[in-house]
Structure 1
Amino acid sequence: MEPNDSSRVDSEFRYTLFPIVYSIIFVLGVISNGYVLWVFARLYPSKKLNEIKIFMVNLTMADLLFLISLPLWIIYYYNEGNWILPKFLCNLAGCLFFINTYCSVAFLGVITYNRFQAVTRPIKTAQATTRRRGISLSLVIWVAIVAAASYFLILDSTNTRLNRAGSSNITRCFEHYEKGSLPVLVIHIFIVLSFFLVFLIILFCNLVIIRTLLTQPVQQPCNAEVKRRALWMVCTVLAVFIICFVPHHMVQLPWTLAELGYQSSNFHQAINDAHQITLCLLSTNCVLDPIIYCFLTKKSHRRRAETLF
């Protein structure tokens, strides 16, 4: 398949949409994730953190890393897609975006698997030394994803083009692919297929958890409350994936093909518009992730809070 000579397209609504959405996400995300991190630091001694809480702390840290880069993107889109900051900050912003996206996917995945084991093999899970495994898995996830993201730090991330009026040049940040680049296409295919493989595993595990919880008899009122919170947590994890991650990865490959020149200009504009919306949805995971914490530790937090006040 040969690339077409498709002209560059732009979705001008993003210059209004992104500054507003990112500003809201930044404020809500810093408050909610900062609170979660404070609770873990204040109420849970590090040696008392079990596996799932270790994963939650790491998920929160990944969200905060992305949130600190949001002001850079707000400035970029406020200036109508003109990167006026030093070039290395563009590389850093792209790197943190990648780290947040795939650390979030990974930690939500291991949180789901932890709950899957707790429901399907409760005795073995209770006997396991899960804290050490939680630390080891977290370290592996960070090393693997940061290593992959380090490519963004050395990439030629900016390119120059005329502004909308055609009167002067502007600098774009991560908005240029060389037409027909096969390595870029292969990388995106690998990322998208890997994501959907992980998503299918998570979907299967969560459906098993839901079925098991719904078929278990409830003997005491406290058990009913635990089951209710467990079901809400599972549903929240699925909601985060379906709202934030799935739309972006459904659009990512067709958008990449269009950017590389393998699709018609008319399709390119439509898929580019959709791509901007999915980027907004993807960023909302920083606000939705802390909701998982509420269902994860609500009872324990209330009990510990009573000892403080």
Structure 2
Amino acid sequence: MTLQPTSHPGFSTTSSYGDQNSTNITNCPDTDAWEWFYTSQPVYIMVITVLGIVFNVFVLMVFILHKKACTVAEIYLSNLAGADLVLLSCLPFWAVNISNGFNWPFGQFLCKVVNLGIKMNSYCSIYFLVLVSIDRFVALVHTMSYGRMRRPKYAKLGCLLVWGFGLLMGVPTLIFRKVQHFPEYGVHACFLDYPSRTLELVCNGMLIILSFIIPISIISFCTVKIIQALKVQSIEKSNAEKTEHKATNLVLAVLLAFLICWVPFHLITILDVLLMAEVLGGCHLENALDICNQIFTYLAFFNSVLNPILYVIVGKNFRKKVREVFHNWSYKKTASSDSTRSNLSTLKTSV
């Protein structure tokens, strides 16, 4: 990502995902589109932050408060909600940063930690979907062969490994993120300062391969096999099969939403890497990629708000859990109220 002129300093939030080095100064002329982005981005970020935190906390509370233990798929989806919360808790810092003219006011520690949280989400969210895709694949295609592997303890271990992998892939962010003063732009910017262009290209290549090409290939394979399995199965299904199909419909909806929100971002990142490697070039392409990076980054952020909505709209089992949680909560509240009235009545009688 290139650094825009003084009126539009391009310390873009996209660099927190794609690790674009913001210190490269462009010779391309500025465009009027940046003014609109810099005024609208903070508002958009705060809106999706508030909505996303409320929705994802609601999802986690339903899974936690429900009397039955979470299924394997629900363990993965609850961890996905946790990854979304990590991202959403970091976004307000970038909203302040943008509204402040990309002058980072929070110090170097938060510069590293906030971007580490965003980086972890880019890896963890996709691999939680990989795990849930594999779970649906095993449940519908290889039920007899590998069904015993679908146990909550293995699911929790898988989630722990994903969180560890996300943290490991965020190490370059911890090492190379720093706050530096740019007198020509009048800001103290939080940016990625790679020691060499080669290392920058390697890190961006790893992002594309490990957080896009490999997981999307696995998800695509599992999804095709899942759809084929759903088509060939008979109309008469047992109750267990119906439950599996309900869970599968929700997973497919979540996967589709993820692809719609994230594929454009990764495609633009690939073009950005090609531009950085000087395979592609030109001011028009550079300006177009800068603007598209902004648009598609915030489309990707919106996925964190969309997932809980899909749980309610598509997830019949989730809606059932919500009703049961509210029913139990209402019952306990009524029982507590009746107990209080009974105690007051006993006190009055004894007096």
Q: TM-score by structure 1 length?
A: 0.84
Choose 1 or 2 for highest CA Rg: 2
3-state DSSP of counterpart to 2:189:
strand
Which residue of structure 2 lines up, in the alignment, with residue 99 of structure 1?
120
1:276 alignment partner in structure 2: 294
Unmatched 5+ residue regions in structure 1? none
Contact 2:179 2:191 in 1 (8 A): yes
Quick check: 1:214 aligned with 2:231? yes
- Shift of residue 59, structure 1, vs aligned partner: 1.3
Q: Is the 8 A contact 2:265 2:300 kept in 1?
A: yes
Residue 304 of structure 2 is matched in structure 1 by 286
**What are the residue-to-residue correspondences of 1:1-309 with 2, within 5 Å?**
6-7=26-27, 11-44=34-67, 48-124=69-145, 126-128=147-149, 130-161=151-182, 169-174=186-191, 181-194=197-210, 195-219=212-236, 226=243, 229-230=246-247, 232-258=249-275, 263-291=281-309, 293-294=311-312, 295=315, 297-303=318-324, 305-309=326-330
Q: Shift of the alpha carbon at 1:215?
A: 3.0
Cα RMSD, aligned residues only: 3.0
Q: 1:191 to 1:156 in 2, by over 3 A?
A: closer
Secondary structure at 1:173 match in 2: strand
Contact between 1:159 and 1:171, CA under 8 Å: does it hold in 2? Answer: yes
Which range is displaced more, 118-127 or 31-40? 118-127
Identity, in percent, stands at 27
Is contact 1:185–1:257 with CA below 8 Å preserved after alignment?
no
8 A Cα contact 2:137 2:225, kept in partner: yes
User: 1:224 Cα deviation (Å)?
Assistant: 9.4
Shift of 1:20: 2.0
| Alpha-carbon distance, 1:138 to partner | 1.1
CA distance in 1, matches of 2:186, 2:148: 63
Letter in 2 for 1:202: I
- Unaligned ranges ≥5, structure 2: 1-23, 331-351
Greater RCO (Cα-Cα under 8 Å, separation 6 or more): 1
Task: Say whether the 8 Å CA contact 1:14–1:77 is kept in structure 2.
Answer: no
How many residues end up aligned between the 2 structures?
299
